[in-house]
Structure 1
């Protein structure tokens, strides 16, 4: 993305990879709105497709049987692996981008357009003969959406002073949570037994929302040119710095990574096996279990949306990140234990309330903490991409761990909950071991 423009118009001494507290006394409201909307408009469409439209479409094509479950598992695994690899590469390329539109803008705009195009392509697949193409397009979607994810997160590191990162991370978390829980609701609007063709319309609607994500965020952010950034000639040192996992002064970075992963594993495993907690564990029918899962989801979303915007500013005010994150891990662990000690369906709703509070705190403050353990702000997108491995890794390890624990516990589901709670607490303990962040 480098151009031939005269660099004298963008003197290097005026370019910086980050902003100090003294340089930004006021709250950067517009940047906060941009990253919050950007998160909502990429995650909402993704979750609507991944959680609702893909299973519905594939059930229509393959049938509601074990084969479709195996195909969905294959998509999940390939998607997580693809996302883990590409988010690091794309983050590194974003860090190195010199353009008149800045380091992040070209990527988030291109990513929105390309991801929307792939979503339309997925919507056009309607036969078994096209399932190979479906897998290819899904991997492309996981690649192109990372054009948006890693650079958009890096905007907070680039443009937000440390004193405001808790607040802006809370705004990002609010958009993230709304997209995470609202996307499946939006996707569900396109399910109809009488009109199965509406599923395809759902893909096209999600593509339209995705198309807005990058351009809208970029328009609001108005990122400055990065042509003043020093030119990086690729050599061994630059390659190691921008494309390899950090090894110097990275102790706190990895404590944050694995602390985040352990908490995410608990959340993911509980989500994957929630139906079985209610059916095999509590004796409900699938229909009754679905009712309680909906109530639990609403409780989780509401409490998370209340506490996410509050937690970041409080963290900024108290000038602490580790303690709120540890508190969130304790709340998630406590919520996870409720159905074990009280094996009644209502316990799942209380899980939603308690774990929802914990999740709201965690999503906002942990993101601010991640920004403060980065080894270098010059390659923040790459390192944030590595930290995102905590989420993609949890998507793979959560279900696997749950299955292993199910076997160890004598083919019972509820006894795995105390182990999941201990895992979440372990994540909180790792975060408390971080040294350079309060």
Structure 2
């Protein structure tokens, strides 16, 4: 029996069409709330807070805070996923992670030194990744293979929905950072509570897993990377995310220091205009890519082309470093990144080695999301500092995205 057959067999058969429709909405809601926190804080509130504390060194300081906090994200996501697998339940981890994040965001909004801001954002990254690990596992837990594209489309659609909401909340509270942090934390907590109330856990049947020595648990934890297709899916995701966040993580500073904005338009207001453009493009490509990949039973072509589009879009602000160029870049990059994340999630669920380790292995894959964010802030700040500008950042981001597109060719078990 293949890994795909195991996963299809284990996906909860009791999830009827009406129940799945309700679950799809809850998946959209919980993932959107999570991304509202990541985008609202990471793109607007945190850069504004850092710039207010240390304007002269804002690029380097944001790079250090972003890199160190991403280490916490990288560690906590797969660990929480493995613990969630072991308990056989998702809701306690989702709700607990969201409530702990609310506390972390409240702390973050109350501090005014670089050190405390760094500690606060590390706490938020750790707790939100506990939430994320359990939420991510719902798709392979509850949906059969034939429905993975639609379910993954909801996960992908959460980026434009949640990203737009998070940036709009953050932009509207740019002069009241504490309020912005609290509102975003409350959104995540409310979404987790709704999921816990309306999507009951389906405990895994059978005897509890036998005790395994620590060394064997660590080896098993990373065993998914020994599987050819999973490894290349991991590499492709890591490259694209690294290219994307090398640029997007510094978008506020790019608009402030690199792009000549129309008179009267501030960087937070500019982000509030750019984000809906990018997110609307993501929404379209996410839905179209997810549906068509299911209908045609083809995944790789969507993933490869969308990654290439995201890479080529990075050249636009290099050729035209203008407000118009940023608008076009946002639209095309959104189209590419949205389709990639939606269909690539479906690809990953089809190359998971073992269904019973779904959350653990999806947690390992999420290292490809969080891990590049460790590197991106350090590399981006070093490039900007060394070359005195942001143009090389776009070039590097584009090259990494194109390499991510090429890596998809090496996946064998998915068409």
TM-score by length of 1: 0.82
3-state SS in 2 of match to 1:230: coil
Residue in structure 1 matching 2:333, options 355, 379, 382: 355
Residue in structure 1 matching 2:84, options 94, 119, 132: 94
3-state SS in 2 of match to 1:423: helix
**Distance between the aligned counterparts of 1:272 and 1:206, measured in 2?**
18
Worse-matched range after superposition: 397-406 or 266-275: 397-406
Alignment of 1:368-383 (within 5 A): 368-383=346-361
Matched, 1:104 2:90: yes
**Distance between the aligned counterparts of 1:340 and 1:136, measured in 2?**
35
Verify the 8 A CA contact 1:303 1:356 in the aligned structure 2: yes
Verify the 8 A CA contact 1:242 1:382 in the aligned structure 2: no
> Shift in Å at residue 245 of structure 1?
4.5
> Shift in Å at residue 240 of structure 1?
3.9
Alpha carbons of 1:341 and 1:203: their partners in 2 closer, same or farther (altered >3 Å)? closer
Verify the 8 A CA contact 2:167 2:271 in the aligned structure 1: no
**Distance between the aligned counterparts of 1:162 and 1:292, measured in 2?**
41
Alpha carbons of 1:349 and 1:53: their partners in 2 closer, same or farther (altered >3 Å)? closer
> Shift in Å at residue 414 of structure 1?
3.2
3-state SS in 1 of match to 2:355: coil
Verify the 8 A CA contact 1:279 1:286 in the aligned structure 2: no
> Shift in Å at residue 182 of structure 1?
2.0
> Shift in Å at residue 127 of structure 1?
4.9
Counterpart in the other structure of 1:191 = 174
Residue in structure 2 matching 1:176, options 159, 162, 168: 159
Residue in structure 2 matching 1:271, options 248, 253, 269: 248
Alignment of 1:94-243 (within 5 A): 94-97=84-87, 102-123=88-109, 125-128=110-113, 132-192=115-175, 198-226=176-204, 228-235=206-213, 239-240=217-218, 242-243=220-221
3-state SS in 1 of match to 2:173: coil
Matched, 1:258 2:214: no
> Shift in Å at residue 232 of structure 1?
2.3
Verify the 8 A CA contact 1:108 1:214 in the aligned structure 2: yes
More helix per residue: 2
Alpha carbons of 1:229 and 1:69: their partners in 2 closer, same or farther (altered >3 Å)? farther
Verify the 8 A CA contact 2:11 2:142 in the aligned structure 1: no
Extract unaligned runs of 5+ from structure 2: 1-5
Verify the 8 A CA contact 1:296 1:351 in the aligned structure 2: no
**Distance between the aligned counterparts of 1:151 and 1:356, measured in 2?**
26
Residues 367-422 of structure 1 show CA distances to partners (whole Å, capped at 9, x for unaligned) of 111111212222121221221122223223334444566689x6564355444323
**Distance between the aligned counterparts of 2:320 and 2:47, measured in 1?**
32
Matched, 1:437 2:414: yes
Residues 265-321 of structure 1 show CA distances to partners (whole Å, capped at 9, x for unaligned) of 222223245567667766668966836655433321111112212221111111111
Alpha carbons of 1:65 and 1:417: their partners in 2 closer, same or farther (altered >3 Å)? closer
Count how many residue pairs are aligned between Structure 1 and Structure 2: 407
**Distance between the aligned counterparts of 1:315 and 1:20, measured in 2?**
22
Matched, 1:390 2:375: no
Counterpart in the other structure of 1:11 = none
Counterpart in the other structure of 1:426 = 403
Residue in structure 2 matching 1:41, options 33, 50, 60: 33
What's the RMSD between the two structures over aligned residues?
3.1
Extract unaligned runs of 5+ from structure 1: 1-15, 193-197
**Distance between the aligned counterparts of 2:115 and 2:255, measured in 1?**
35
> Shift in Å at residue 220 of structure 1?
2.6
Alpha carbons of 1:110 and 1:343: their partners in 2 closer, same or farther (altered >3 Å)? closer
Counterpart in the other structure of 2:64 = 74
3-state SS in 2 of match to 1:388: helix
TM-score by length of 2: 0.86
**Distance between the aligned counterparts of 2:259 and 2:91, measured in 1?**
50
Worse-matched range after superposition: 113-122 or 18-27: 18-27
> Shift in Å at residue 17 of structure 1?
6.9
> Shift in Å at residue 423 of structure 1?
2.2
